[in-house]
Chains A and B, each alone.
Chain A
Amino acid sequence: MTSARPARGVAAAALLLAVAAVHLLASGQPLGAITGLLDGAADGQAEKIVWELSVPRLLTALLTGAALGVAGYVLQATLRNTLAAPEFSGVNPGAVLGILGGLTLGLFPAGSAAGALLAALAGGALGGGLTWLLSAGRDPAGLVVHGLLGSALLAGLTTMLLAYQPSRFGNALRWLIGSVEGRVWEHLALTSWWIAGGIAVAWACAGMLAVLSPSDDHAASLGVHPGLGRAVALTVAIMLTAGAASLAGAIAFVGLAAPHVARRLGGRVRTVAVVGAIALAGADSLAQLAGQLLDGTHRLGIPTGVITALAGAAVLIRLGRSQ
């Protein structure tokens, strides 16, 4: 067990590097422009494009994937339901509603990372709170059913918002489907710290999450106040989901599927962060490749959210059958 730990760390690092390399190559930029960056300076137009567009896109995918994976893991452990996920608990739909609502009301400019983050946070807390209210006093496992109801309600509100101002629909699409494209260093500066902080808190709480996962009695007998522990965990999940949504909108299924994979690997918070990051960067590599095949069809190319929705569904059907 102890000897396996460094080996797992090396394997995780190798996989992350490999998926990063694939992601950059899939961007369609010339190889020379990518390797040229290794000298630490972006010389020339081609290298600048890679540095200003491809690298931020890669980091956005990695960060968003890690955030969603950890958020899903935290939700599944504390709500004791393996179908709990940011997109099914009202948190992610709430965050998307927050961003679109904020943009529609003109509360913050479209390019503002802090504005999007705050709006996502407010919306995510609202969505999570709505789920909480709907299921008040019930078993935490039942929260998922009410989470689905709350998510549907929030998605309905988002649709109403767009129907009210159909001219904005095109801009809203990237948030609705989920896309890591078009993010630049400016967007990442604040949000990367935010997500890293959230993951660090979740990591610090990993033991508590594990203790909470069987039952309240079990947790209380091991020294955890169940209500307080759940409140801390859900706050972290909302923080991370809001961070992810402010970067990439409604990316589905990473938060649902990554925790399953991590648990199979016998891992906890760090494992699920790596699994989520690899999953989303991998999905976005496919999205980039598919976008090049269908060149010129749409400004957005193929949004990553489409790939994660398809791949995640396939993974879950497999998991469901093998269990």
Chain B
Amino acid sequence: MSVKVEDLHFSYPTRPVLTRIDLTVEPGEFVALVGVNGCGKSTLLRLIAGLLRPSSGRILLGGAELTSLSRRQVARRLAVLHQSLPPVPAMTVRQLVRQGRYPHQGPFGLLRESDSMDEALELAGVAHLADRVLDTLSGGERQRVRLALAVAQNTRILLLDEPTAHLDIRHQLEVLELVRALREIRGLTVVTVLHELDHAARFAERIVALHEGRVWADGPPKHVITPELLADVFGVAGRVVTDELHGSPRCLLDAAL
């Protein structure tokens, strides 16, 4: 399912955040949004998720205008992994992942399709954690559980807001590898906000760099990750080399400008 953003503007009462954003994400694409804190990348993600209303412009999910869809219909098209999930006392992994079926259920939890829930636990590699209480999980396990929730939601679009924040490097890679695998198995369209440029270059097919509320660059990692990007967008002097093994660009950071 495609995501299309047309001439999008968004401002808070005190300041403009996004101006004239145009972006088309094709079905099955893996796109990373990068930029400094406050550049509007999380805001763009929330706008696409329908959690914020744009000041002007349009957003289309698979050709249907977002404003014409009910919240429930949106929830059947896209799943969101938010930056944080506040703890709920005594909630188990299974209880959380079951919530992914909510947009597909009637009242009293009718039309319960527990098969797709078990499959989601399996795919995200958390079936063995199903009866654990969420509070007792490590950060990496919790992210995998939240991905299982997104899988259970059975959408064609997956939005992620900094899925690797606060994780050890091993779990950062594990989570991104899982996202890549899920995308292949389920044919998902993935749009993720990422802090780490090397991760973006390594896992995404396409990088959209936002700067001062506009799209500063948009294209394959090799074209976007350049010393100019580091200098003009991130304020860092650096060099970009090619990772021999993966063929992706890597940043060597030298100094703050």
Contacts and interface: CB of A to CB of B under 8 A. Distances in A.
Interface of A: 1-2, 80, 82, 203-208, 210-211, 213-215, 217-218, 220-225, 263-264, 266, 323
A207 to B, nearest CB: 5
A221 B80 contact: yes
23 contacts: A80-B86, A206-B108, A207-B102, A210-B102, A211-B99, A211-B102, A214-B87, A217-B82, A218-B85, A221-B49, A221-B75, A221-B82, A222-B75, A222-B99, A222-B102, A223-B76, A223-B102, A223-B103, A224-B102, A263-B90, A263-B91, A264-B90, A323-B89
Contacts of B49: 221
A224 B71 contact: yes
Interface in B48-75: 49-51, 70-75
A166 B87 CA distance: 48
Nearest to B78: A221
B120 interface: no
A203 B109 CA distance: 9
B249 interface: no
Nearest to A2: B114
B109 A207 contact: yes
B99 A1 contact: no
B99 A217 contact: no
Contacts of B105: 207
A204 B71 contact: no
Contacts of A224: 71, 102
Contacts of B100: 222
Given A206-B109, A217-B51, A222 B103 contact: yes
**The 9 nearest A-B residue pairs measured at CB:** A223-B75, A223-B72, A223-B103, A204-B107, A263-B90, A221-B80, A223-B71, A222-B102, A213-B88
Contacts of A2: 114
Interface string B18-60: 0000000000000000000000000000000111000000000
A210 B87 CA distance: 12
Contacts, number: 73
A185 to B, nearest CB: 30
Given A207-B109, A223-B75, 13 more contacts: A82-B89, A207-B102, A207-B105, A210-B95, A210-B99, A213-B88, A214-B85, A215-B85, A217-B51, A222-B102, A224-B102, A225-B71, A263-B91
A263 B134 CA distance: 13
A302 B95 CA distance: 41
B82 to A, nearest CB: 5
Contact of A221 (B51, B89, B107): B51
A323 B133 CA distance: 13
Interface in B73-124: 73-76, 79-80, 82, 85-92, 94-95, 99-100, 102-103, 105, 107-109, 114
A223 B95 contact: no
A263 B95 CA distance: 11
A93 to B, nearest CB: 25
A208 B105 CA distance: 10
